[in-house]
Structure 1
Amino acid sequence: MGMPEAQPRIASVAAAPDFDAQHFRRALSQFATGVTVITTRASAQSVTAGAPPFIGITASSFNSVSLDPPLVLWSMATRANSLPMFRDGTHYIINVLSASQLELCLRFATLKGDRFAGVDYRLSSTGLPILSNALAWFECHNRSRYDEGDHVIFVGEVERCGVPEIGDGPLVFQGGEFSTTVPLEP
């Protein structure tokens, strides 16, 4: 019988990264994600005359957390101008975009001003916009918020959700490009 192998020492804090931010971003970009637009109510002071009282942002940081209770999560940069409205609001809608909604993705990611101008939507039971033709939507109570690094992680408790009868494939972001999925044969 030999000597037992020494167990690796587990550090109580993370070691400094051995990479730069650009390398980290490139590595993260290899993970394909779906694309969402998250909508909520705008603060009264941010609404311009004649514009709907809503804000929306494009986010690819969406994931399921739990089936019981039904929980999902997403994150937002701490430098985002709309962070206070999402942090302080009681509800938001997560709209999962279809491949045919690339224009909406770009609009809610980059457009300044009224992002809802000309956009088809209906109101949820909490009075928030559900985008027409989204592959799925989740109406969430703003359950928890966690400050982590340069982002805030939002955990939403899903109160209602919907999936349309007909839809095209999902909008996917990977490697800095938009695409969609194609089923693989086994």
Structure 2
Amino acid sequence: MTNPYRDSARRLMRDAALDVAADEVLAHGWDGLQMRAVATRIGVSRQTLYNAFGDKHGLAHALIMRLLDRFLDGVDAAIARESSLRDRWEATVRFVLEAAVSEPLLRAVLTGTSSDEFLPLLTSDGGPLVTRARDHVVASMITHHPDLDPAPLAEVAESITRLVISHVVLPLHAPQEVAGHLADLAVADTRVRSH
């Protein structure tokens, strides 16, 4: 049986810990982040923090997933602003690539001393991130295009998600150019076209 007050307090504590951890990573890098410092700043014991996240790797995972959720909120807004399926794919990719450039925590993940701990959460250990992004994009697209078949749409969404991550990690071209190209790829599969 769940206790709504305890659950709410736990969520507030987790959010506060993630806010502080993000500040600490930006100020001191991943190596400078100490669970003890986070616990002290939010007024809980280290054991409470370990119970919530497991360890520093769990804290890193939680930071990345919270950042993903913020990106997905922006994706929803980008999708809602457009009318055609292709334009929605283009807006989705463009939003993520443009937002990635200006997101300080993501920059720290990709370029700073934090990269050894965080980067696998986007790449080799990125399964949970890819799955959440894929499922979210599928649900958002189907909201606007209910005639789409979810199974092939999920395949396309996963491929586009993986390609977007690749472009975030190693940006070689302008976001607008990449967005147009990936949008063309997304609608090339005739199984994923709205009727």
Q: Same fold (TM over 0.5)?
A: no
Smaller-chain TM-score range?
under 0.3
Q: Which protein is richer in strand relative to its size?
A: 1
Quick check: which has more Rg, 1 or 2? 1
TM-score normalised to the size of structure 2?
A: 0.24
Q: TM-score, normalised by structure 1?
A: 0.25
